[in-house]
């Protein structure tokens, strides 16, 4: 059977499947078992074009035939798969900083009741001072913990970023780093190190900023604000790229459930839930900015091999994606700007909101939230 050298690619939109391409010959669909072969009159392709053409024809030969169109439909994977290295690098950096904190802490020099004295200067503070097996609050403050007084009155704004690399103890860093690997690697594989790295840092900054506006006594450390930012970005990524996903409702409900459970844990005493909330809101908005994908059915001309014709004229993004991007950018700029202005003016938002403190700790018969401030002056608030 002869084939015309003009091969037309028709982009279809079946329900609940990924992007597909449909090869069309002269008035009829080509079977998946008979991939199109450009004739000798077709312009020869070399280098990247030849590789793309071979990949496309290979995909036609291995068609799964999903969707209502049946044969002739193949999975078309337009998104690059990245090799994750930044998130593992962040984990290593956090562990190294924790080890440096323990080295500087040097518990045996200041106490005779250190935990794990066989570790030498890496031994932990007494359990009554730090039950998480870590350094003292003084050491964390020297290392760059979030201290609102120093941020506002001593112009040490860098603490809003440095605090997300510090952890109060072994249990604290273990929980956060396992979560970071579980969430972050998947995101970096899909979106690359630049976007996920920026999202992580901006979300961590947003969490620190909100924490500083509501909790201005004691010090705070931890990467959970940035982690909640990654969770928030997963939710917004699902919303803004709604058209390319199958099982959307199940994924949405699962994400919401995970977020609600983690935020509920922040209602316990000695946990800075304001950093969780600030990181989540920042990450949710950043997801609309950094994690936007082309709509279903869009085919980039530069990825089509020579000799193939694309008839789809769909724009790269849907109008609602542009709207969400613009609104999110405006809210992020305004939120960070006004938040910094209020912080450096010494505003405590608890004075403006009489019930907001319940977002970080809900008193029960088992614990008293009023004791949190005194405890946090001896031990850093964890987030």
| Lookup: tokens for 333 | 């700029």
Distance between terminal CA atoms of the chain? 67
DSSP conformation letters of 158-210:
THHHHGGG--SSHHHHHHHHHHHHHHHHHHHHHH-HHHHHHHHHHHHHHHHHH
Contact call for residues 209 and 340 (beta carbons, < 8 A): yes
The residue from 22, 167, 172, 276 that is catalytic is 276
Residue 31 falls in the annotated catalytic set: no
Closest CA to 214 of 155, 305, 277: 277
Closest CA to 136 of 119, 151, 121: 121
**Separation of alpha carbons 294 and 354, rounded Å:** 44
**Separation of alpha carbons 291 and 239, rounded Å:** 10
Residue 112 falls in the annotated catalytic set: no
Phi/psi of residue 187, each to 5°? -70, -40
The residue from 123, 224, 328, 360 that is catalytic is 224
- DSSP annotation of 81 reads P
Angle between the 170-191 and 224-240 helix axes, to the nearest 10 degrees?
Answer: 30
Q: How far is CA 138 from the centre of its chain?
A: 31
**Separation of alpha carbons 118 and 124, rounded Å:** 10
Would you name the residues annotated as active-site residues? 224, 276
């Amino acid at each position: 059977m002869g084939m015309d050298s003009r091969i037309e690619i028709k982009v279809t939109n079946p329900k609940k499947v990924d992007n597909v391409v449909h090869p069309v010959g002269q008035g009829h669909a080509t079977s998946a078992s008979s991939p199109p072969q450009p004739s000798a009159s077709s312009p020869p392709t070399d280098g990247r074009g030849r590789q793309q053409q071979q990949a496309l024809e290979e995909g036609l030969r291995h068609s799964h035939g999903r969707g209502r169109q049946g044969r002739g439909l193949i999975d078309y994977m337009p998104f690059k798969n990245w090799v994750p290295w930044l998130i593992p690098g962040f984990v290593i950096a956090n562990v190294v900083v924790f080890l440096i904190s323990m080295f500087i802490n040097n518990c045996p020099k200041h106490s005779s009741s250190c935990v794990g004295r066989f570790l030498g200067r890496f031994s932990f503070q007494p359990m009554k001072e730090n039950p998480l097996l870590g350094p003292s609050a003084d050491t964390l403050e020297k290392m760059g913990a979030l201290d609102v007084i120093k941020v506002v009155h001593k112009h040490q704004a860098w603490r809003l970023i440095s605090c997300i690399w510090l952890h109060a103890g072994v249990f604290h860093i273990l929980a956060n780093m396992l979560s970071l690997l579980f969430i972050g690697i998947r995101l970096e594989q899909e979106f690359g190190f630049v976007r996920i790295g920026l999202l992580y840092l901006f979300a961590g900054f947003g969490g620190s900023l909100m924490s500083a506006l509501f909790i201005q006594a004691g010090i705070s450390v931890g990467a959970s604000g940035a982690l909640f930012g990654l969770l928030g970005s997963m939710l917004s990524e699902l919303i803004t790229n709604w058209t390319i996903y199958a099982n959307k409702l199940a994924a949405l409900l699962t994400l919401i459930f995970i977020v609600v459970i983690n935020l509920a844990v922040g209602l316990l005493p000695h946990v800075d839930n304001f950093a969780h909330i600030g990181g989540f809101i920042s990450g949710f908005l950043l997801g609309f900015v950094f994690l936007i994908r082309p709509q279903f059915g869009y085919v980039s001309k530069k990825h089509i091999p020579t000799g193939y014709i694309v008839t789809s004229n769909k724009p790269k993004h849907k109008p609602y994606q542009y709207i969400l991007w613009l609104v999110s950018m405006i809210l992020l700029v305004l939120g960070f700007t006004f938040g910094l202005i209020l912080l450096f003016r010494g505003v405590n938002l608890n004075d403006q909101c009489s019930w907001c403190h319940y977002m970080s700790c809900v008193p029960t018969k088992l614990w008293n939230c009023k004791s949190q401030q005194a405890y946090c002056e001896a031990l850093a608030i964890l987030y």
